[in-house]
Structure 1
Amino acid sequence: MSSRRDFLSQAPPENYVAGLGRGATGFTTRSDLGPAREGPSEDQIKAAVAKRTAQLGLGDSKDDDNDDAARFQDPDNEVGLFDGGIYDKDDEEADRIWQQVDEKMASRRKKQREAREQAEREEYERQNPKIQQQFAGLKRALESVTDEEWANLPEAKDFTGRTKRARQARMERFYAVPDSVLAGANAQGQFGTTVADDGAATEVRPNGAETDFAKIGAARDKVLRARLEQQSQSSGLATAGSASSLDPKGYLTSLASVQGAEQSIGDIEQFRKMLKSAVDSNPKQAASWIAAARLEIAAGKPGAARKVIASGCGHCPKNEDIWLENIHLNDNHNAKIIAAEAIRNIPKSVKLWVEAMKLENDINSRKKVIRKALDHNPESEALWKEAVNLEQDPKDARILLAKATELIPNSLDLWLALARLETPENARKVLNNAVKKIKNSHELWVAAARLEEQLGEGTKRPVMKNAVRFLVKQGAMPKREEWIAEAEKCEEEGAVITCSNIIEETLGWGLDEDDDRKELFMEDAKASIGRGKYATARAIYAYALRVFPNSKSLYLAVVDLEREHGTKDGLWRALEKAVEACPSIETFWLMLAREKSGEINEARLVLARAFKQNPDNEDIWLAAVKLEADNSNINEARTLLTEARQLAPTDRVWMRSVAFERQLGNNEAAIDLVIEALRLFPKSPKLWMMKGQIYEDLAKIPQAVQAYSDGVRAVPSSVPLWLLYSRLEERNGNVVKARSVLDRARQAVPKQPELWTELIRLERRAGNIGQAKSLMATALQQMPKSGLLWAERILHLEQRTQRKTLITEAIKKVEDDPILQVTAARILWSERKLDRAQNWFERALLLDRDVGDTWAWYYKFLLQHGTEEKRAELVSKCVMNDPRHGEHWQAVAKDPKNAGKGTDEILKLVAASLG
């Protein structure tokens, strides 16, 4: 072994292939620039294996080869024991069954394996979460970041000291240059010019070198020529003499937008060359000639434009557009000659005949041109229309239209024009003939219906019914939307009866009973109202009520339509139909009685009819009482209330009786009534409040305190009752008792902003500002969405300098609160930002029109900074909306002194009471 040489120094065996023993051969990867060396061939591998086996003394491997061959032999080519067998259908079926068994077992194991792998994957992901999952909670927390906080984030700084950008920044630093360098650079920039003997301009530099300017100019021209060629190639143009790819039509549109703009000489010259190349390469393309002529017009050369377009007409004599352009570019005299030449080339061109007609100055000449045109184009609808328009005598126009309809029987416009000029009887015949010629036109049927309406027989002749039957038979029935559009068109032109007939016959066409037809009809009517077509909407509602005769929503929609866009008589008729169709709905009776309240006898008759239909309805009883009370019929009202307490004994009737006596000043009678009512309705908070208020009016404070105390024990959930109790104690000077009452109220009715606000105001009025602020902080923790609490804090507990910041914070937390909107408007008002304040008042009204305090604050603002028209508009809107809520509004509106006053008067009183 010692005499044997080192292994690495030995010569490799013959046909040695590195890595062959472990199955590694040459291969190629993507990163290789070229193919790797090829591996040995199959023969070389077999020879090497055989030689290697012989050298190692492994002996004969014939048995092993036989075993492998037996293991991997083809069943279709058996050897050995089964070499004489035949692979028949039984063998095939056996193999198929075994294959199915293998597949079944594999699928069973597959499900188990997949379940196991899924569990292992979930366990791995749980133990090794991704970075994205680790930061999921922090990402969700970013939802609470506001826009201002995002905007206030500081910019990220570059803390890397040795990055590539830092090195580049150091390289970009500038240092002072010595004066010697600047002087040398200045000397190099100076040169003189002299004329050489051969006339060429040269540059003489300080170092004695000379430069030939002629060569520089030639080089410049060469570079410029190359750039122009490159630009023309990039824009799709070839050199002159080759086929041009210029799009003349696209150039025409671009040229039209450049007409008024100033064009440089270079641009116009470049466009001129481009268009010249286009017309030279394809002279039969009329758009190129038109573009070239318009270019000359844009350049201010009309003479050149006329020459270009004349050449174009010579090359394209059968194109009407180029002739029309030539006519437009010339004066009237030359244009007539050009038009005659154009018509000789294209006698069938309607546009050229019309243009030639327009060139004539008198009517007779125009008629002659049009008649010649009709000789060449007898079936041109446009020419017949022009001829009819030129006729001043209706008889001559009828003669022309009769001839036109014979030649062009499918022209709808010509038939309709002839029908308009004929007498009513002849118009019917014309329309009948037109329907025979044009069977798919619904416009002819609409015209026939309008004709019947003009003759006063619009409601007698069922024209639209016949129209629907005929069009359905022809398979030309338009959609519902198209019929509604036709009805609106008729309404716009004054044919209201035809509009109604169209809706009546076509609105329900194509709809099944399963469809939401009522909602669909109401949407159609609202859409027509939005477009200002009220007659169409009335017709839609009338049809819908025939389908749904007892629909309350439909009748309410009709009433709203008549109230907003109709007359008083129309409103009365709508309400009469509503009470007849729905007699048990007291709303319509009350609305009808209210509308007729100006005529007391009519209103009494309405309420009498309502009593017959609804004898036990408290609303009708109270409406009758209000009618008599408003008309100063005190005895009649008191009698009605007495009967109502017997026939409809509800708490509302008793409250109205007490309020009626209280308004008349009969406090003793009122207190007797309220005591009796409380025996019947001990859980009515309003009765307890009225009892305490009556005792206050009678100056019986102990009895009033007892009434409120008994009331809160009977109805502990009534917030207004607690507030009245506390305020009475405070007015008596018993602040401690008032605070105790509010504490009990907050326990009985937790998380009520009104109770917390009243307690905070109590402490503020008592001078305990610190306690008030502490209570406000606690209240806002419990009720952060309360606009009332935020308004109280901003206006009364914080300094003026902090109001703007606080109102911004409050609006972010409480977005849609009218109290906060009014608070913001008041703050802007105090800062003299009047336009913005008015916008905030408008926003508050849009949020809730039932809050009377918003109307009062806005009216007070307009008293100082508004016009008379604006104030009148606000008052009318307030009366229309009739607000009922609001802290200041209810205090004024429910005061017995203000009984019987209208909404406009209450508005002015509340505005005057605001501090």
Structure 2
Amino acid sequence: MSMISKSKKAFLSAPAPLGYVPGLGRGATGFTTRSDIGPARDASDISDERHPKPPRKRGDDDDEEEEEDLNDTNYDEFSGYGGSLFSKGPYDKDDEEADAAYDEIDKRMDDRRRDRREKRFKEEIEKYRQERPKIQQQFSDLRRELASVSEDAWRSIPEVGDIRNKKQRNPRTEKFTPVPDSVLSKGLSNSGSVNTLDRRQQQLGGFQTPYPGSLTGFNTPSSSELDLIRIGQARSTLVGVKLDQVSDSVEGQTVVDPKGYLTDLQSSTSFANADIGDIKKARLLLNSVITTNPNHGPGWIASARLEEVTGRMQKARNIITKGCETCPKSEDVWLEAIRLQPKETSLSIVSQAIRNMPNSVKLWIKAAELEEETISKKRVFRKALEQIPNSVRLWKEAVELEDPEDARIMLSRAVECCPHSVDLWLALARLENYDNARRVLNKARESIPTDRQIWITAAKLEEANNNIAMVDKIIERAIASLKANMVEINRDHWILDAEEAERSGSIYTCQAIIKNVIGVGIEEEDLKDTWMEDAESCIAHNAYACARAIYAHSLTVFPNKKGIWLRAAYLEKNHGTKESLEELLQKAVAHCPKAEVLWLMGAKSKWLSGDIQSARQILALAFQANPNSEEIWLAAVKLESENNEDERARILLQKARSTAPTARVFMKSANLEWCLKNLDGALMLLKEGIEHYPTFAKFYMMTGQIYEQIGNIDKARESYSDGVKKCPKSVSLWLLSSGLELTKGEVTKARSMLERGRSRNPKCPELWLQAIRVENEHGNKPMGKSLMAKALQENPDSGILWAEAIFMETRPVRRTKSLDAMKRCEHDAHVLVAVARLFWSESKVTKAREWFHRAVKIDPDNGDAWAYLYKLELQYGTEALQQSVSKKCVTAEPHHGEYWCKISKRKENWRKKTDELLPLVAATLLAVV
């Protein structure tokens, strides 16, 4: 019973649905007879409309509607069965326009989302590659180490063989089985000859051949077999001779010259069947060309070159000789004939060519090239010039072979024959003296009034003879004359001529060109920007005189533009002299008295040259022009304090606090008192500064550091705590606060401070770095690595984090880590310094020096990079290299760097200059880790 109940269907016990008629599915419906009229079912029966109609057959009428396909494959989420809701209606023009509009909207929406979609896809790909790197990336470090494998190590690697071959994987000892004597005797009998007759042959009488299958009788080889044997012997002999020619035996090894062998292979010409077929077709085609049109020179040349390519040199010479006879006026045919003929016959060919074409310049030049002696070359060119006196190329070739005096005479004749050649006129002017050169250039201007090079050469000539006043006039006349002769003045070409004049030493000519053409063709509103771009371009081309001239002309048009004065000042500072810089700055402050930086540059220039009194005078004038300028006040204070004038500095700071009370003035005042060991006065000034400027972070830093110095840790902690409350974005305050806790052994508090700092300053690599170092220094290296991973995930482009991550790895992994760092931070000085230290640790001094130089070039303000480079030179370099590094460091004046700031900001080092700080910082560095 249980089995029956399990197989019973659930719907059998359910009530019948509404309208159910038993047997309806089997056709049990009412029917009509001939005697009945009307329906055969009761009025209460359900209509057939509630049941689906039978499927339409192929023979139904075409005007009936097609039945819907209720298959699941025909179902759409939005349109239902059978396509769109309106698919059965007519598709008119309005529907087409609506569909086009919707398609355009979909396309525009897709374009708007494209950037986000591509960015999201890129991020997902990068994240996936970080989690699942390619096999190629996993083995990249091993592949790079293959470069260091020696040749002996390569040779010592055993052959693996085919792993699929069991015989190679499991070699067995070879077995040798001796050959039985019966086999040897049989082979001897088959290959030898028999000179006796057996008993049966003797009975038969005579030398009759036995019946087939007999093993007796004469086994003499046939004539064909003898021929094959001889051919084989001769072939082996020939192969042996060839091998002896190309090889020799050294201790049983065959030695072949690979270079010579490859050269022979390249020189040998081999043609496949297809090539030979093509050559035959080409030969037939070219033969048709020279037959149908024998006066066509290129046909003869092509036919000869085809034979040359196929190796039939004599055939090529015969063809081109026939071409010369057929086309005696074709210059190219004669030149090809000269090229194909050997040297001993080419002279006769070229003489014959010149007799047929005496006005061909190329043939005369070819004739001169075939001559070996200079006298013969001169003779050929002179004959050529008699025949073709108006050829500029022949005159140039002939003049190059002459000495200066004969060249001058020839050029005098050349300019008469070729008056429109600028090069000949200029060459003659260079060989003449001053007066004759002026006459030559005047004649050249009359003959060629549209060329600017003649005018520029005239200006250079006047400058070379110290006639400076005429240089500018000549360039002005040149531009006026060229404009009168309808010549376009292209300023770019003229600026290039000015740069060329500077390179040749004609500075005044260069300046005159710039002055007269710099404003040609430029709109008034674009003058300043265009001129600054031209000046930068000239500086990039090392044309400093051109850039100086552009700045000078710009300042005459825009005398009150501070930016132009600054650019000109920096040009003089980097590529000029001290006198030119000071002269320029005097003019600059006269036109721009409110430009503080110009005053400060002038005062610093005087200070560095040792003229302290002049620097004070400049700053005094700057005070008059800018009475409440913070920068000028602080510059005056620095000047006095650096020169041990402490009282004057105090008085200046007191005046500054009364006239221009800024946060920096209070900070510099407290710093001066701190350096002079007046800690109470410094604390008072800091307290006053906090009252005026409560959000200035350096007040809290200095207060805390002073309290640390005197040993009042509670006050220091209180100062730092107040600072992080008022200035939560100050990273240095968080670092000082955590450092204070570390000095007292409160590691947990230090961690807490750093975590709070990171929450207030997200994505701050300095706070992450300090937290990592706290864990590493206290023996929790796994936690440090975990923090480093999080830090790099949050700051993937931080150079200081990558530099620290490199040296957190073991030695074999550091190089791989450095490559990852270079991919992320290729132009970061911290990463470059870390890579240089890696090379240093491997004793690769040249590479380490190169990478340190790259670091200081990218970031010259990084004092740590300079210190590492200086330490490297102290260990491996010469004294000259050490002095060079020190000099460049003084020029760069670095102010940043972890170790640099620790040394430079110590109060005992506050008066020391850059060259004194550099060795102190280098002494504290660890070169190799």
Q: Into which bin does the TM-score normalised by the smaller protein fall?
A: 0.5 to 0.7
Does the 8 Å CA contact 1:401/1:418 hold for their aligned counterparts?
yes
- Please name the residue that 1:556 is paired with: 566
Distance 1:228 1:746 in 2: 76
- Please name the residue that 2:639 is paired with: 627
SS at match of 1:476: coil
TM-score, normalised relative to structure 1: 0.66
AA in 2 matched with 1:731:
T
Q: From the superposition, tell whether residues 121 and 680 of structure 1 become closer, same or farther in structure 2 (CA, over 3 Å).
A: closer
Q: From the superposition, tell whether residues 191 and 309 of structure 1 become closer, same or farther in structure 2 (CA, over 3 Å).
A: farther
Deviation at 1:331, TM superposition (A): 10
Q: From the superposition, tell whether residues 315 and 861 of structure 1 become closer, same or farther in structure 2 (CA, over 3 Å).
A: same
Deviation at 1:367, TM superposition (A): 6.6
- Please name the residue that 2:623 is paired with: 611
Matched ranges for 1:755-774 at <5 A: 755-766=767-778
Alignment partner for residue 149 of structure 1, among 122, 128, 133? Answer: 133
- Please name the residue that 1:667 is paired with: 679
Distance 2:441 2:811 in 1: 79
Deviation at 1:350, TM superposition (A): 3.2
Q: From the superposition, tell whether residues 341 and 501 of structure 1 become closer, same or farther in structure 2 (CA, over 3 Å).
A: same
Distance 2:96 2:503 in 1: 77
Q: Percent identity?
A: 42
Deviates more, 1:111-120 or 1:714-723: 111-120
Alignment partner for residue 898 of structure 1, among 909, 922, 925? Answer: 909
Does the 8 Å CA contact 2:836/2:849 hold for their aligned counterparts?
yes
- Please name the residue that 2:920 is paired with: 909
Matched ranges for 1:33-432 at <5 A: 109-112=92-95, 114-115=97-98, 141-142=124-125, 144-146=127-129, 149-151=133-135, 202=224, 231-235=275-279, 237=281, 243-244=286-287, 287=301, 314=325, 316-320=327-331, 341-354=352-365, 370=381, 372-385=383-396, 394=405, 400-432=410-442
Distance 2:731 2:415 in 1: 82
Distance 2:784 2:340 in 1: 87
Report whether the alignment pairs 1:880 with 2:891.
yes
Report whether the alignment pairs 1:588 with 2:598.
yes
Deviations 1:570-592 (A, max 9, x none): 33333333323322111122122
Report whether the alignment pairs 1:523 with 2:566.
no
SS at match of 1:379: coil
- Please name the residue that 2:446 is paired with: 436
Report whether the alignment pairs 1:681 with 2:725.
no
Distance 1:679 1:729 in 2: 27
Q: From the superposition, tell whether residues 723 and 894 of structure 1 become closer, same or farther in structure 2 (CA, over 3 Å).
A: same
Distance 1:718 1:546 in 2: 46
Does the 8 Å CA contact 1:552/1:582 hold for their aligned counterparts?
yes
Deviation at 1:895, TM superposition (A): 1.0
- Please name the residue that 2:215 is paired with: none
Does the 8 Å CA contact 1:237/1:246 hold for their aligned counterparts?
no
Deviation at 1:383, TM superposition (A): 3.9
Report whether the alignment pairs 1:651 with 2:663.
yes
Distance 2:413 2:91 in 1: 88
SS at match of 1:244: helix
Distance 2:745 2:374 in 1: 100
- Please name the residue that 1:163 is paired with: none
TM-score, normalised relative to structure 2: 0.65
Q: From the superposition, tell whether residues 682 and 291 of structure 1 become closer, same or farther in structure 2 (CA, over 3 Å).
A: same
- Please name the residue that 1:492 is paired with: 503
AA in 1 matched with 2:640:
E
Deviation at 1:483, TM superposition (A): 0.9
SS at match of 2:508: helix
Does the 8 Å CA contact 2:296/2:327 hold for their aligned counterparts?
no
Does the 8 Å CA contact 1:232/1:238 hold for their aligned counterparts?
no
Report whether the alignment pairs 1:456 with 2:466.
yes
Structure 2: gaps of 5 or more residues: 1-57, 63-88, 107-116, 139-176, 178-182, 193-221, 229-270
Q: From the superposition, tell whether residues 851 and 138 of structure 1 become closer, same or farther in structure 2 (CA, over 3 Å).
A: closer
Distance 1:411 1:785 in 2: 62
Residue-pair matches, total: 715
Structure 1: gaps of 5 or more residues: 1-18, 24-105, 124-133, 155-178, 193-199, 207-226, 248-276
Does the 8 Å CA contact 1:761/1:772 hold for their aligned counterparts?
yes
- Please name the residue that 1:7 is paired with: none
- Please name the residue that 1:853 is paired with: 864
Deviation at 1:603, TM superposition (A): 2.0
Q: From the superposition, tell whether residues 450 and 114 of structure 1 become closer, same or farther in structure 2 (CA, over 3 Å).
A: closer
Q: From the superposition, tell whether residues 819 and 378 of structure 1 become closer, same or farther in structure 2 (CA, over 3 Å).
A: closer
Deviation at 1:506, TM superposition (A): 1.3
Deviates more, 1:661-670 or 1:314-323: 314-323
Does the 8 Å CA contact 1:244/1:281 hold for their aligned counterparts?
no
Does the 8 Å CA contact 1:448/1:463 hold for their aligned counterparts?
yes
Does the 8 Å CA contact 2:297/2:330 hold for their aligned counterparts?
no
Deviates more, 1:525-534 or 1:495-504: 525-534
Does the 8 Å CA contact 1:191/1:204 hold for their aligned counterparts?
no
Report whether the alignment pairs 1:465 with 2:506.
no
Q: From the superposition, tell whether residues 503 and 811 of structure 1 become closer, same or farther in structure 2 (CA, over 3 Å).
A: closer
Distance 2:118 2:731 in 1: 48
Deviation at 1:909, TM superposition (A): 2.0
The two structures, once aligned, show a CA RMSD in angstroms of: 5.2
Deviation at 1:372, TM superposition (A): 4.5
AA in 2 matched with 1:541:
Y
AA in 2 matched with 1:912:
A
SS at match of 1:888: helix
- Please name the residue that 1:212 is paired with: none
